[in-house]
Chains A and B, each alone.
Chain A
Amino acid sequence: MTRATPTPRRPRAPASASQQRLDPIGGLAVWPIAPVVALIVVTYAIASTVSRPHEIQIEEVAVSAVAALIIAAAVLVWSARPDLAPFTRARAIIVVALGLVAHLLAAASAWQYNGMVQDDFAPIGLGLLLLALAPFRPWKEILVLGGTSAIIVGATALVQSPFLGVQTPPALFAIIAMTQVLAPTLAAAAFSRQVVNSIHRWQTDARRAIRARTEESRDLLAHEVVDHRVRNLGADVLPFLADVLERDTLTVADVKRARSLAFQVRRVLVAEVDHTWLDDLIERERTALTERGLNPLCVIADPERRATAFDSDQRAAAGAILVALCTLKGFDPTSLVVQIDGTGPAPVDTAQVTQAFGARGALPTPATDTTTIAIVTAAQDQAAAQARTLAQAQAQLTTRSRRTGERAVDTITIQAGISLPPYQRRRALRPYLSVLRAVFSQVRVTSRHPLLTLEFDADRSSSTSTKGT
C-alpha cells in the first residue's frame, strides 16, 4: 500500500448524495430497476394471497393489504421516473410507509390463522422496495428506513408466534421475518454507499484535471484577451496618445478628441463588463451556426444579469443543453430564445446599484465613480436617470421581498423550435434534462410542436445569505 507517502485525504461525499444526484445520467440508466422490482412485488403479493385462501380471515383486509402494496409499488415507479427526478426523501418514506401498512394489514387479515411467517408476502415485498431505493437515496437513509421496517416486521412476527404452525422459539420467527427485510436493505445501502463514493472520487479527480487543463491554457487565454482588448481600443487611441506625447503640446482639438475617445472606450468597456457567461455562450453558438451556413437569430433577455448568480454546475448544465439544442437535428436556428427572470433581488452586481440608490439619506453617500464626472453628456444624463429609476424600482422589490421572506429564485426559460418527432426529441434530450434536474430546483418541460419550452429554477437563497448585501 502507499502508507509510506501519505496521500491527501479525498473530501467525503456529502451525506445527502445518491447515485441519481451525483451522476444523473448514470441514474437514468439504472432507473428500470424500479418498474422491475414493482412488478415482482405486485405479482408475488397477488400470487401469495391467492394461493393461501385458507389462512385469510377477513378478505377485505387482505385485499386492501395487496392494494397498499400495489400503491407502494406505483409510488416507487412514479418517484423513480427520470422526468420527475430527483427521488426525494418524502417519496422514499411514503413508499416504505405504504409497504409497512400493507404488512400490518396482511398480518391482520390472517390473524391467528397464519401458518408460517416466512411465506408472508409483505416482508419480502418491503425488502424488495427498499432494494429498489439503492440508486436513488443515500445509504444512511436506506439503512434507517430498512432498520425501522425490520423492527416493526420483527415485532409483528413475535406477536403472531403463539398461533403459528411451526413449533420453534418465537425469536426465530422474528429473525426470519427481519432477515427478509434487512438483507435487501443492507445490500441496497452498501450499493448506494459504494457507488456514491466511486462517483465522488471520480468527480474530485475530474475537477482537478479540469483545473489543471484550464491553468494550462492561461497563457493562451491571456493572449486572446489582450489581443481582443487592444483590437477593441481601435487604431485610434494608441496613435493619438503617442502623437500627443511626441508633440509635447495639447491643442483644443486634442482635448475634444480625448474627451470623445474616453467616452467611446468607456462605453465599450461598460458594455463588456455587463457581459455574462450566457452572452458568451450564445455568441459562440451563434458563430457555430453561422459557420454551418445557417442564419441564426438567438435572443437573450437577462436585463438584471441574473445569469451571474448561477453556480458552475448550473452554468455547465444549462450550457450543455443549449449546445445540445443548437446541434440537434431539426433545430430551427431562428427560434432560440433564452430568458432569465425571477423573484427576489437581482444578484450582487445590480444589487449594489440598488443599495447605492435605494435608501437615500439613511446610508452613506453611494458608491459611485468619480473618474469622469467631467464628461457627462446628455446621453449619459439620460442613462443616469434610467439607471436610477431601475434601481429605485429594484430597491422597492428588494425590500418587499425581504419583508415577506421570499426566496431569491432565478428562472431561466429556453425556447427553441425543433422539428423532430416528440419521441426522438425526448430521447435526445433526456440525459441533459436529467442533469438539469440534479442541479436546478425545478425543471418544467412543455412542448407545443415544434416549439419546445424548458423552464428551470435556480434557488439562490443559500448563496445570497452568505454573500449578504
Chain B
Amino acid sequence: MSLGLPGYLVQRTLARAIARAAHWFALTCISAAIVSVSILSLRTPELWITIVVVAAMAALLILFTRHRRILLAVAYLLVGTLGVCVFTATVLGVPDVFPASNMFLVALPKMALVMVGGAGSTALAGVLWSTAAFLLAEAAALVAIVGTTVPYRPDLFTLSTYLVLVGVMVLAGIDRRASNAAQPAIHRAVQDGANRQLRDALDTRAIALLNDTTVSQLVALSLAEPGALSPGLKASLKYTLTTLHDTNWLTDIDARRTITPQSTVQEQASTPNPAWVSSAVYTAIERCRDRGLTVEVTGDRNALARLEAGSDRDVGLAVQQCLVNVILHAGITSAEVAIESDSSTISLLITDAGRGFTESESASDRLGLRQSVRRRIEQLGGSVLIWSRPGAGTSVRLTVPAATKAVTKTATKAATKASLRAAAKASPKAATKNPNSRPAR
C-alpha cells in the first residue's frame, strides 16, 4: 500500500479526479434545476422552456464527461450560456414568486456551467475555462435579469463556487518538492524488499542444500569407523563434491526445472510410470537406496504429478533429508514412504522402526529438520508433523498443497493428465508395493 503515485503521475491523476468531481457537481446542480422547474411548472406551465434548455445542458455535459473534447466543452459553454439566459429570464419572470435575482435556484445552471473548468488538463487551463464560464454565465444572467422586474442582487453562490473550484485546482497544481524526493525512496525500498525476499528464498534453499550435502557428509564421516571408506560413504562423498563443485547449483536447479518437460518426455517412453519416475521424491528415494537404505513405497505415487516443478523439487529434498536421518541415526536399514492424497493436498509419511529420539537429545540442533524439512515444506504452504519416542521409531508426515486440477505449470500437460487418470483408477487405499524397491546392500 505504501507505493504512492510518482511525481509525474500526480498532476494528471488529480486533474482527472477533479474533472470527475466537477462533472458530478454540475450534474447534481442541473438535476436539481430540472426537478425544481418541473415542480414549478405544475403551477406555471410556461416554464417548460426552462426544462428543455437545462435538459440540453445535461445532455451536453454527459457527452462531455464521456468524451473530453474541446469542441464539446465549447458547445457546453455556448449552450450553457444560452440556457442560463433563458432559465434566468423565465424563472424570474414568473410574477410574485422571487423577491430578488440572487436565488439559489437561478444560480444552479450557472454553477453547473462554471464546472466546465474542472475538465482542464492543467491547473492553468482549468482556471481559464472556469473563468470564461463564470464571466459568460454572469453576463447572460445580467442580460436576463435586466429584462425582468426583479431587482438585481449579486449572486454569491456562483461566485463562491467559482472561487472554490479555482482554489482546488490551484492547490492540486502546486508541485511539492519535499514529497517528490521521498516517493522514489519508498519505491526503492519496496524494490529492495522484493529483492531481499528472493535472495532469502534462494539463501534458504542454499542453506538447506548445504545442510543436505556438506553437513550431512561431515556428520557421516564423523560417525564412520576409521579405515577404508564404505561404498555408500564413497558414493555420497562423490555426490556432495560434484554438487558443490558445480558453481551454479542454485541456478542449475532452476535450469533443470525449465528443461524438465523434455526429459520427462524421454523418460515417459522408456518407463511405464512416468509421473512417478520423473518426480524428485523418486530421485531422492533412489539416492538413499544407493546409499544402502531399503525404502518401501506405498500409496498413490502418481499423485506427485500434481505438484508443481518447484514444489516437487523441495518435497523431494525434504524426503531425502528424512531418509538421510534414518540412515544416520535410526540404526536400521529400512524405511517406508507412504503417499496419500486428497483433492487439495498430498501427504508423505516417512516411517522407520529405528531408535527414535527425545527432545533432550537434540534440542539445540535445529537445522536439519527445521531448515531442510520444516522450512522447505512451510515455504510451500504445507505442514510437518513428527512423532518419535526412544525405541519406538520415528514418523514424519509432510503435507503439501497440490494442484486440484490436472494442470501444472511446467510439467507437460499430457503426462500429467495421463498420470492423473491412472491415479484416479487406482484407489489410494489399495496400496501396492513398489516394484522398484530394492533390497539393502
Contacts and interface: CB of A to CB of B under 8 A. Distances in A.
B364 A381 contact: yes
Interface SS of A by simple majority:
helix
B7 to A, nearest CB: 10
Contacts of B238: 245
Contacts of B222: 255-256, 258-259, 262, 374-375
A462 interface: no
Nearest to A204: B3
Contacts of A259: 218, 222
A388 B363 contact: yes
B5 A373 contact: no
A461 interface: no
A252 B179 CA distance: 67
A269 B363 contact: no
Interface residues of B, number: 131
Contact of A320 (B186, B245, B250): B186
B25 to A, nearest CB: 4
A183 B28 contact: yes
Interface residues of A, number: 133
A276 to B, nearest CB: 9
B152 interface: no
Contacts of B363: 357, 368, 384, 387-388
Interface in A262-288: 262, 265-266, 269-270, 272-273, 277, 280-281
A93 interface: no
Interface in A389-432: 427-428, 430-432
Given A194-B16, A370-B362, A438 B28 contact: no
A305 interface: no
Interface SS of B by simple majority:
helix
Interface string B239-261: 01100110111110010000000
B223 A374 contact: yes
A368 B361 CA distance: 9
Contacts of B105: 118, 172, 176
Contacts of A357: 359, 363
Given A262-B222, A364-B387, A365-B386, A269 B367 contact: yes
A198 B16 contact: yes
Contact of B2 (A167, A248, A252, A438): A438
Contact of B218 (A33, A189, A226, A262): A262
Contacts of A366: 359, 386
Contact of B216 (A167, A242, A371, A375): A371
A6 interface: no
B221 A312 contact: no
A277 B201 CA distance: 12
Interface in A165-215: 165-169, 171-172, 175-176, 178-180, 182-184, 186-195, 198-199, 202-203, 206-207, 210-211, 213-215
B266 interface: no
B269 to A, nearest CB: 32
A358 to B, nearest CB: 11
Contacts of A258: 218-219, 221-222
Interface in B143-195: 157, 164, 167-168, 171-172, 176, 178-179, 181-183, 185-195
Interface stretch (A59-67, A70-78, A217-225): A217-225
Contact of B237 (A241, A261, A280): A241
A294 interface: no
A23 interface: yes
* Most chain A beta carbons < 10 A, residue from B202, B228, B240: B202
Nearest to B383: A468
A214 B361 contact: no
B251 A372 contact: no
A176 B32 contact: yes
A237 interface: yes
Contacts of B194: 210-211, 213-214, 312
B196 interface: yes
Given A371-B219, A375-B222, A187 B178 contact: no
A250 B216 CA distance: 16
B219 A374 contact: yes
A171 B385 contact: no
A179 B97 contact: no
Contacts of B225: 250
B417 interface: no
A172 B361 contact: no
A383 interface: yes
B371 A273 contact: yes
A33 B168 contact: yes
A134 interface: yes
B244 A369 contact: no
Interface string A79-97: 0000000000000000000
Nearest to B392: A365
Contacts of A375: 219, 222
A296 interface: no
A213 B36 contact: no
A273 B227 contact: no
A159 interface: no
Given A183-B29, A317-B2, A320-B189, A222 B365 contact: no
Contacts of A36: 167, 171
Interface of B: 1-6, 9-10, 13-14, 16-18, 20-25, 27-29, 32, 35-36, 39-40, 42-43, 96-99, 103-105, 108, 111, 157, 164, 167-168, 171-172, 176, 178-179, 181-183, 185-200, 202-204, 206-207, 210-211, 214-219, 221-229, 234, 237-238, 240-241, 244-245, 247-251, 254, 324-325, 328-329, 356-371, 374-375, 378, 384-389, 394
Given A176-B32, A244-B229, 8 more contacts: A178-B32, A179-B32, A202-B6, A229-B203, A248-B234, A252-B226, A323-B189, A376-B364
29 contacts: A28-B179, A29-B179, A33-B171, A169-B43, A176-B104, A183-B32, A187-B24, A190-B20, A192-B17, A211-B194, A214-B195, A217-B195, A223-B251, A225-B202, A225-B250, A238-B244, A241-B217, A248-B228, A250-B228, A262-B218, A262-B219, A266-B215, A320-B182, A353-B366, A367-B369, A370-B329, A370-B368, A371-B368, A435-B186
